[in-house]
Amino acid sequence: MSLIPKSHPRAKSLLIREKLVSGFDRGLVAKEGLLAQGRGEAFDYLQGEKTGKSAKSAIKAAAAQIILADLPVISVNGNIAALCPKEIVKLAKKTGSKIEVNLFYTNEKRKRAIINTLKKYGAKEILGTDFRSKTILSGIDSARRFVDKNGIFSADVVVVPLEDGDRTMALRKAGKKVITFDLNPLSRTSQTAHITIVDNVTRAMDLLIENCEKLSRKNTNYLQKIVCDFDNKKNLSQNIEEIKNNLTKRAKNA
Ligand code: ATP
Ligand code: MG
């Protein structure tokens, strides 16, 4: 039971924090994940704690890219498992994507906890656990270089929410189309991915599912045009403009 009153002006953001802390207590989130959440909160503040126009166009492009993919894979870490496990399973089911657990700070117990959480929400197959299909994605030092031969290694599109810059670069170099969620438009991840959704993953994931549902009825040409017309650099610049506008508004009201 949450102790945050619904009338609190920042109730939604505090609930997200509560989810993450509960994920930490349940062994899903690493200590470092709490720090990533803190950085996310600071950027969410700058984003006005809402989904901006730039995020909405990135979500649409991401949905089109996922539907066009032959083998889309969603990479899950502890923070994602704590924040939106239900939505991850739903997105995977709706789009025929595979789910792979891939941790920066690897730890078998934590991996188990993440898998159990995803299973609780109906995930059937979860990759990243079978040592027989484990292989290496070159260009990464951390444990995240271990990927599943039938998952991330073979994927053409990888959805990597809350990713780190090195791995985004390695995935890109391996020829994958990379879709990320990152509240900081200036992070290396944001700047390196093909499609960056600059929004809180807890708000954007449902919108991505909705967009996938809507766009799944469209033909290939229509979807390809959405992807081709999307320019990530331009979209990130638009997001920075949105931050400036949010700050100007706040300063006026202060
Ligand atoms: P990079 O390596 O890409 O330069 P970084 O080192 O600044 O990034 P990491 O710790 O690698 O950051 O990744 C955490 C990122 O996730 C941060 O940019 C943070 O803003 C973002 N983030 C944290 N929580 C959320 C959330 N709920 N939704 C979206 N993004 C988030
Ligand atoms: Mg980093």
Please give all residues whose beta carbon lies within 6 A of any atom in ligand 1, as ranges. Answer: 36-37, 39-40, 43, 83, 162, 164-165, 181-184, 187-189, 200-202
At residue 64, what are phi and psi to the nearest 5 degrees? -60, -45
Atom number, ligand 1, closest to the C-alpha of residue 199: 29
Total structural domains within the chain = 1
Does a structural domain hold residue 16?
A: no
Domain limits for position 218: 53-244
- pLDDT tens for each residue of 143-185: 778 899 999 999 999 999 998 888 999 999 999 999 999 999 9
Q: Which two tokens stand for residue 152?
A: 């991330």
Q: In this predicted structure, what is the pLDDT of residue 149?
A: 95
4 vs 198, higher pLDDT: 198
Q: Which ligand is nearest to the CA of 190?
A: 1
Of 46-60, 121-135, 225-239, the poorest mean pLDDT is in 121-135
Q: What value does the mean pLDDT take over residues 210-227?
A: 98
Residue 140: half-sphere exposure toward Cβ, Cα within 13 Å: 24
> What are φ and ψ of residue 3, in 5° steps?
-95, 0
**The pLDDT of residue 1 is above 70:** no
For 5-36, how does the pLDDT look when each residue is reduced to its tens digit (9 = 90+)? 777 777 788 889 999 999 999 999 999 999 99
Dihedral sign from CA coordinates of 126, 131, 133, 135 = positive
Give the helix/strand (H/E) hosting 212.
helix 201-215
In a domain? residue 30: no
Token pair of 117, please?
């959480």
Give me the chain's average pLDDT, please: 94
Instruction: Give tens-digit pLDDT for 116-131.
Output: 999 999 999 999 988 8
Residue 250: the pLDDT is 86
Q: What CA–CA distance (Å, rounded) separates 118 from 106?
A: 17
Q: For the segment 137-154, what is each residue's pLDDT rounded down to a tens digit?
A: 888 877 778 899 999 999
pTM of the model: 0.95
Average pLDDT over residues 87-97: 98
CA–CA separation, 118 and 101 (whole Å) = 10
β-bridge pairing 134-136 and 157-161: unpaired
Probe target for ligand 1 pocket from 13, 15, 39, with the most ligand atoms within 8 Å of CB: 39
Tell me, in angstroms, the distance from the centre of ligand 2 to residue 36's CA: 9
> What pLDDT does residue 103 have?
85
For residue 163, the model assigns a pLDDT of 86
pLDDT of the residue at 239: 98
Quick check: is 3 in a domain? no
Question: pLDDT at position 215, please?
Answer: 98
Contact 189, 196 (CB under 8 A): yes
Residue closest to 200 by CA, chosen among 49, 26, 24: 49
* CATH for 113: 3.40.50.12640
Q: What is the rounded average pLDDT of the residues 52-61?
A: 98
Residue 42 lies in a domain: no
DSSP secondary structure of 149-174: TTTTTT-SEEEEET--HHHHHHHHHT
Does any domain span residue 199? yes
Cα separation of 17 and 112, whole Å? 22
Residue 135, domain member (yes or no): yes
* Residue 115 falls inside a structural domain: yes
